[in-house]
Amino acid sequence: MSRKILAAGNWKMNKTPSEAAAAIEAMKATCASDEVEVLLCVPAIDIPAAMEAAKGSNIQIGAENVYFKDSGAYTGEISADMLLDVGVKYVILGHSERREYFAETNETVNAKMIQCFAKGLVPIMCCGESLEQREQGVTMDFIRQQVKVGFLGLTADQAKAAVIAYEPIWAIGTGKTATSEQAEEVCKGIRDLICELYGKEVAEEIRILYGGSVNASNAAELFGKEDIDGGLVGGASLKPDFGKIVNYK
């Protein structure tokens, strides 16, 4: 099964709308690729400006979060319909920073996964362990729980359309990167779990990304692994050099 590489940027809380537009204009030429799907997930307020700037290019614009209700008294939240109305297809769910700073749980991530598929959004569900958990040898136990609860209630067709991003917390924004072997080991473990839950066909189709200080110098080695289908890229996606990750070969 041939899975198309996805190079997805996560801008986090960076860039104003005008800065976002300028950055994307600068990236258009460097990010051109027929072989790699290119996505920038930007702050909600940047989405319209980013969409306009990305016109005529292969850069897709996604969101960093969504709420699991259609509408209502949820001050500060953003709904799936709002994202769909401005042309968003992909949305990041359950990033470790959302879990740590904003009390997201496996259960709320699952509610958001279900809402995404009810509305037609494609979730990029994040999972990953802390340094302490890795040192205690419970990495896969922890990640299996995140994935099993996150995917609870999803059909096989929904599961194969989702994207999972493995992001070891100890390698996010620290400059540390899991070795390609460490990253592949966990991504294969995730794929094996999807096989257990949904069967071989779904496991072969679902895309699993690695995130954790992905940059131009390590992208080729990481993306060349059998079970790594691209990256969820942080700081490096804010710069024109993101194109070097897109064109990693």
User: Does 167 participate in catalysis according to the annotation?
Assistant: yes
The SS3 call for residue 236 is helix
The DSSP-derived string for 65-122 is: ---SSSSSS-TT---HHHHHHTT--EEEE--HHHHHHS---HHHHHHHHHHHHHHT-E
Residue among 37, 64, 104, 167 flagged as catalytic:
167
Is 196 one of the annotated active-site residues of the chain? no
Contacts of 114 (CB under 8 A, 6+ apart): 68, 153, 154
Give how far Cα 232 sits from Cα of 51, 71, 79, 138, 205, Å: 19, 29, 22, 23, 18
Task: Quickly tell me which residue has 């799907």 as its tokens.
Answer: 37
Spot the catalytic one: 37, 95, 97, 129: 95
Q: Say if residues 107 and 149 touch (Cβ distance below 8 Å).
A: yes
Q: Catalytic site residues?
A: 95, 167
